[in-house]
Structure 1
Amino acid sequence: MKKLIPLILIVGLMGCRGTGTSDEKVELKTSQDKVSYCIGTDIGRNFKTQGMDVNPSAVARGIRDALNENEFAMTDEEMRSTMQAFQVELKDKHGKAMKEASEKNRKEGEIFLAENAKKEGVVTLESGLQYKIIKPGTGRTPKLSDTVVTHYKGRLINGKVFDSSYDRGEPVSFPVSGVISGWTEALQLMKEGAKWELYIPSALAYGPRGAGPDIGPDATLIFEIELVSIK
């Protein structure tokens, strides 16, 4: 939210003196209209991402009152105490949701890996990492200190793709030591030109913190990885 404050101030400096109600249909005719709308969608997305249950009409009223320098409906102290209580509530809600998601993902991951280990061609290492060789390579094997060039596609165990260098049309370069543990371990077993499918337990991936909006806490991940070359 702090990132949005300068943008809202810019709108104010541009002379935005909205007086309509929050339900009014506003046509986006000018660049100011469009910028204002973009700010609104940004605020809304942030609320949605953070799981914030807000009243859009009250939000719009607050913005209008601030921009128009109206008398506020609450005192500064009331606003401070309200927001402090809300932040505590939001933190508790987020923590509970993360815990529930973590337990769900961990159980589903354990079941998936146990069943996957029985499949033909799947190798399970002592660390818990599983892999299947799609295409063996014939080149060099990278060391921990090397930088490699790879193509990859990552997905969740439900099949949802969350990242793909193939879709972007170009491989990615990175240090072997600079990625998740499951990748680091697998890369040091592969040869240039090889393509493997990795099945990575959460402890060797992003763990309880997850990563971004798609990779939840303690999620088991599947990667198709192609070792293009070693730099």
Structure 2
Amino acid sequence: MNHRILFAALTISVLSACTDATGQKDPVVLRNNIDSVSYGLGTDIGNNLRMQLQGELLDTLNTAALTEGIRDALDSTERMTADNVRELVQAFMLDAQKRMLA
């Protein structure tokens, strides 16, 4: 479950990274089938993440940091261990649950 939430958060950051400083999206040109499949997978992941991360979690994430985390993971240059990430995400989720119940 926590991995799904983390994955959802990371996907959101990738999607939001396609905006410039004014908040305008720089559209990706879909030149071939791989581009279209890649975009389609991105929209599917983004929609799933949006549904899973509704509310406060979705609104409070630093999408720039999220995007950098995704890129670092894809490049195998992560600045945090998997255990550290797991602990941080679990603590964040527990805190969010407590605030929702309060």
2:72–2:78 CA contact under 8 A, matched in 1: yes
2:61 maps to 54
Deviation of 1:37 (Å) = 2.7
Cα distance per residue 1:59-104 (max 9 Å; x no partner): 22222222x23211212332132122112201101212xxxxxxxx
Name stretches of at least 5 consecutive residues in structure 2 with no aligned partner.
21-25, 31-35
2:6–2:89 CA contact under 8 A, matched in 1: no
> Once superposed, which parts of structure 1, at least 4 consecutive aligned residues long, lie more than 4 Å away?
none
TM alignment of 1:102-113, pairs within 5 A: none
Distance 1:34-1:26 versus aligned 2 partners, 3 A rule: farther
2:33 maps to none
Identity %: 21
Counterpart among 71, 74, 78 of residue 72 in structure 1 = 78
Kindly indicate whether structure 1 or structure 2 has the higher relative contact order, using CA contacts under 8 Å at least 6 residues apart.
2
| Aligned-partner Cα distance in 1 for 2:28–2:101 | 40
Distance 1:4-1:88 versus aligned 2 partners, 3 A rule: closer
Cα distance per residue 1:131-182 (max 9 Å; x no partner): xxxxxxxxxxxxxxxxxxxxxxxxxxxxxxxxxxxxxxxxxxxxxxxxxxxx
Question: Larger strand proportion, structure 1 or 2?
Answer: 1
| Aligned-partner Cα distance in 2 for 1:58–1:41 | 20
| Aligned-partner Cα distance in 1 for 2:75–2:83 | 18
- Whichever residue aligns with residue 79 of structure 2, its letter is A
1:65–1:72 CA contact under 8 A, matched in 2: yes
TM-score by length of 2: 0.57
TM-score by length of 1: 0.29
Question: Larger helix proportion, structure 1 or 2?
Answer: 2
Distance 1:91-1:3 versus aligned 2 partners, 3 A rule: closer
Deviation of 1:43 (Å) = 1.6
| Aligned-partner Cα distance in 1 for 2:5–2:81 | 24
Computed over aligned residues only, the root mean square deviation of the Cα atoms, in angstroms, reads 3.1
| Residue 33 (str. 1) matches residue 34 (str. 2) | no
Distance 1:3-1:77 versus aligned 2 partners, 3 A rule: closer
| Aligned-partner Cα distance in 1 for 2:29–2:100 | 35
| Aligned-partner Cα distance in 2 for 1:44–1:59 | 14
